[in-house]
């Protein structure tokens, strides 16, 4: 089975349908599947439920899919950087489910690992616990959270090979590995597709079994907060 596709548009062909759930990797704008997000927008698919830690910014990342109103619901932990998101949410046009960041990460991990639910201390005694099963273990109270799977996961890695093995770079890893595993179909975009055998097998972060399609693409890698220090004069 050939996993390498020529571009983002071709890689999404036949994988999208209205009302589907999409997981989109990244933290802020770091490690997002820039090209696949644009290609997803261009398919015209609607009523998406998008699982993503953040919602992009107005004119980049998932902001593109918000501009075109293709998203019906977001499952996220923090959405503070997107004005259009705020406008649609306050106007009642967009559903929003907040998950604590670690709970969101673990829900994706569990989903990909075939675990339908898990107990966590996070959120006990808060609105997050409302309506959820509570259970005591060793004298402490935990709540039941469920695993998440997606119809399609779009992830970004640094390098990949024709088998779909992926290596991420620095903090651009974030949610990508769990979302890759939790997708019924997973498409990865990488900066470089390298020859088979050139990735160190001991250093592969996402084994190719989780990746059905892969493309090589160019990335803008926009920075949200460019913070620098002054070089001390020698």
Partner 1 sequence: MAWDRNQMAARAARELKDGFYVNLGIGIPTLVANHIDESIDVTLQSENGMLGMGPFPYDDEVDADLINAGKQTITELRRTSYFSSADSFAMIRGGHIDLSVLGAMEVSEKGDLANWMIPGKMVKGMGGAMDLVAGVKRVVVVMDHASKSGAPKLLHECSLPLTGRAVVDLVITNLGVFEIEAGKGMKLIELASGVCVDDVKELTQADFEVAVSS
Residues lying near partner 1 in the complex (CB under 8 A) are found at 27-31, 53, 76-81, 86, 89-90, 98, 100-106, 108-109, 120-128, 158, 168-178, 205, 221-231
Q: Which is nearer to partner 1, 3 or 109 (CB)?
A: 109
| Minimum distance from residue 16 beta carbon to partner 1 (Å) | 25
Q: Which is nearer to partner 1, 34 or 161 (CB)?
A: 34
Among candidate residues 90, 89, 118, the one with its CA nearest the CA of residue 103 = 118
| Minimum distance from residue 21 beta carbon to partner 1 (Å) | 19
Q: Please answer whether residues 22 and 231 qualify as being in contact, where contact means their C-beta atoms are separated by less than 8 angstroms.
A: no
Report the distance separating Cα 3 and Cα 209, nearest Å: 11
The helix or strand, by DSSP H or E, that contains position 119, with its residue range, turns out to be strand 117-120
| Minimum distance from residue 43 beta carbon to partner 1 (Å) | 27
Q: Which is nearer to partner 1, 2 or 226 (CB)?
A: 226
Q: Which is nearer to partner 1, 45 or 54 (CB)?
A: 54
| Minimum distance from residue 65 beta carbon to partner 1 (Å) | 18
Q: Which is nearer to partner 1, 31 or 63 (CB)?
A: 31
| Minimum distance from residue 2 beta carbon to partner 1 (Å) | 28
Angle (CA) 163-168-172 rounded to 5° is: 145
Burial 210-229 (b: 16+ CB within 10 A, else e): bbbbbbbbebeebeeeeeee
| Minimum distance from residue 176 beta carbon to partner 1 (Å) | 7
Q: Which is nearer to partner 1, 12 or 104 (CB)?
A: 104
Token output for 28: 């802020």
- Residue 201, SS3? helix
Token output for 137: 């273990």
The helix or strand, by DSSP H or E, that contains position 22, with its residue range, turns out to be strand 21-24
DSSP collapsed to 3 states, 151-184: CEEEEEEEEECCCCCEECCHHHCCCHHHHHHHEC
């Amino acid at each position: 089975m050939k996993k390498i596709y020529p571009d983002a548009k071709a890689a999404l062909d036949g994988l999208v349908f209205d009302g589907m759930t999409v997981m989109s990797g990244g933290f802020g704008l770091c490690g997002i599947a820039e090209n696949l997000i644009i290609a997803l927008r261009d398919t015209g698919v609607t009523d998406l439920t998008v699982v993503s830690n953040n919602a992009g910014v107005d004119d980049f990342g998932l902001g593109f899919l918000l501009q075109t109103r293709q998203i019906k619901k977001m499952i996220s932990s923090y959405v503070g950087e997107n004005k259009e998101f705020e406008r649609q949410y306050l106007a009642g046009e967009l559903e929003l489910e907040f998950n604590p960041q670690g709970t969101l990460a673990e829900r994706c991990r569990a989903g990909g690992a075939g675990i339908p639910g898990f107990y966590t201390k996070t959120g006990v005694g808060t609105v997050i616990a409302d309506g959820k099963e509570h259970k005591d273990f060793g004298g402490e109270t935990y709540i039941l959270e469920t695993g998440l799977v997606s119809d399609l996961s779009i992830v970004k890695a640094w390098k990949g090979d024709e088998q779909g093995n992926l290596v991420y770079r620095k903090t651009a890893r974030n949610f990508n590995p769990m979302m890759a595993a939790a997708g019924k179909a997973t498409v990865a975009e990488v900066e470089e597709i390298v020859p088979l055998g050139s990735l160190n097998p001991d250093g592969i972060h996402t084994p190719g079994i989780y990746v059905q399609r892969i493309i090589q693409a160019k990335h803008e890698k926009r920075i949200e907060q460019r913070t620098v220090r002054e070089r001390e004069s020698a």
